[in-house]
Chain A
Amino acid sequence: MPGWLKFAFGKSVRLAALLAAVSIITFVLISFSPVDPVRAYIGADMMTVGAEQRLDIAVYWGLDQPPLERFLKWVSSMIQGDFGSSMIYREPVAGVIAERFWYSLSLMAAAWLLSGLIGFAAGSAAAMNRGGWLDRVIQWVCYTIASTPSFWIGMLLLMVFAVWLGWLPAGLGVPAGVAAEQVTIADRIRHMVLPAAALSIAGISAVALHTRQKLIDILDSDFVLYARAKGERGWQLYRNHGLRNIALPAMTLQLASFSELFGGAVLAEQVFTYPGLGHATVEAGLRGDVPLLMGLVLFSTLFVFTGNTAADVLYRLVDPRIRGHENDSRNV
């Protein structure tokens, strides 16, 4: 079997096992959850809705059946491509996720790029000036950010830019009270700036500190000592050996950070009431919307898995040491 086919097959098996495990664990956790979906659905109208009506709703949703049966039913329809309907949005789960994914995707992509680029540059600058004032400032900022909760950063940004300065909207994904056809791309971007900024600031410190440490390891290596002995220094040394040796680990780390990105998005979207996947996840969890929550969990698993697989593939394609090794084993 060719190497790539073996790789793809192994990854698919792993993904299937992962999705199965994640859905079982999620379902078990939800069954033990104290949230009563019917009660959460009715909300403040609880007094006006009688016990009989509540039972009707439960039967309509199939909540009267034993959990195992519900789970198997969900699995069998999911395999046929039907993820069920969200209880709170009263729409198919797939549609809810698709619509919200576009909001989250643009938000996460912006934050991913910004935190990656800024973090990489800051980490490189710190390592190249190790022990100097620039290194100290960058490290200090990074540790401060790292020990600051991202929702707090979000609230700070809201206070300064939305409340005091009034430059940017305080929440939502589009302007309130404007017809959907009249919403412009500029409007969408304006609504995305603050959540994206909050999310990227939270991500910068990890990227910068990792990059710094990795580059310091490289700068302490024998081959950099030799390069220095050959007269290379400063930017030239960084371009020839530093960048070359940290680019790949940095890319891998960045691709593998999808899980943190998703987790951060949940908080950032909540603070800015931004209608993305994170916001929907919190809603689904708090209101016991099992089909939507299951769909979201599977989707985020797939998202994180894609990131990790991309990192793996990138290594195989780019690193000559791994690439060469694969060729060797094929020749045998």
Chain B
Amino acid sequence: MSLLQVENLSISFARYAGWLRREIIMPVRQLDLALQAGEITALVGASGSGKSLLAHAILGILPANASLGGSILYKGEKLTAARQAKLRGKDIMLVPQSVTYLDPLMRSGAQVCLAARGGDPRKLQRAAFRRYRLDNEVEQMYPHQLSGGMARRIMAASAFVSGACMIIADEPTPGMQAEDAAETMKWFRELADQGHAVLLITHDLEAAVAGADRIAVMNAGMTVEWLPASHFSDKGERLQHPYSRALWNSLPANGFYVPQSDWRAVSSREGPGCPFASCCELAAAICREEQPGMREGERGWVRCHAS
């Protein structure tokens, strides 16, 4: 059984356009995902594809005007608001992306102590500092005194002291030098090896392929394919969805191939047919008439008629 199972999740926001007209925008439309204990699962997609919203939806910290469709199951039970409030920071922990997520007026040691569960906070914090190679003086520092690397260690240490069995890392590596990114990925691998389930939300496909066990590819609010990370290899022959292939082949190491179609130009209309029918090179008649369902493939699934 999966630790976390996300089924057909949609997230929409109601907002007022002008004075009276209320409009609904739906940045996440069809998101399916499963997390296993002991594994790193990466959710990969371009910026603005709705990835970070998944983290907030799992934790139950979406803004008040958001509404959810579909379901999220944690340990086989539906994740209700009341359960989320109980599990946040205890079972499920977020690792945010930048120093702006630390309270600017609180010493970093105290911030890590606040995250500690099950034991003496100070002792847990000291142990976590040793583990992430943070000097004792860093305890007394305020966020503006920390380097980017120290801030990341502080946030990793916070996740460690929480004792949570599920870690959600939101864009942990972008903008980092290769060795820093590798170190960060090593931390998550260690946590996974200890039996944690790690969800890595990123737009860095290369880092995801190198560090994760499974990858869910997302575009325009939809997960289009779910597959083992090892399937991203060579020319992408084992990838089923045309978007996954386009993403893989556009990496510098794989020929920098620029896709002929613009995958961001998906139709936002609700209706029959695949939302990518207008921009996919492989689109056939059926793609315009019928929405593709999830089709089981080799150790994964894909949402495509053409594959």
Contacts and interface: CB of A to CB of B under 8 A. Distances in A.
Interface residues of B, number: 26
B20 interface: no
A230 B144 contact: no
B105 A324 contact: no
B88 A230 contact: yes
Contacts of B145: 324
A221 B106 CA distance: 15
A62 to B, nearest CB: 57
B94 interface: yes
Interface stretch (B30-38, B95-103, B178-186, B238-246): B95-103
A241 interface: yes
Contacts of B199: none
Interface in B65-107: 85, 88-90, 93-94, 96, 98, 100-106
Nearest to A231: B89
Interface of B: 56, 59, 61, 64, 85, 88-90, 93-94, 96, 98, 100-106, 114-115, 142, 144-145, 158, 162
A230 B105 contact: no
The interface size bin for chain A is: 20 to 34
Contacts of B162: 230
Contact of B90 (A231, A241, A320): A231
Contacts of B90: 231
A255 B216 CA distance: 55
Nearest to B59: A229
Interface string A238-260: 00110011001000000000000
Interface in A71-107: none
A107 B217 CA distance: 67
Contacts of A240: 103, 106, 114
Given A225-B56, A229-B96, A324-B144, 12 more contacts: A131-B64, A229-B61, A229-B88, A230-B93, A230-B115, A230-B158, A231-B85, A231-B89, A241-B103, A241-B106, A245-B104, A324-B145
Contacts of B100: 221-223
A320 to B, nearest CB: 5
A6 interface: no
A283 interface: no
A229 B98 CA distance: 15
B114 A230 contact: yes
A28 to B, nearest CB: 46
Lowest 3 A-B CB distances belong to which pairs? A231-B89, A230-B89, A229-B94
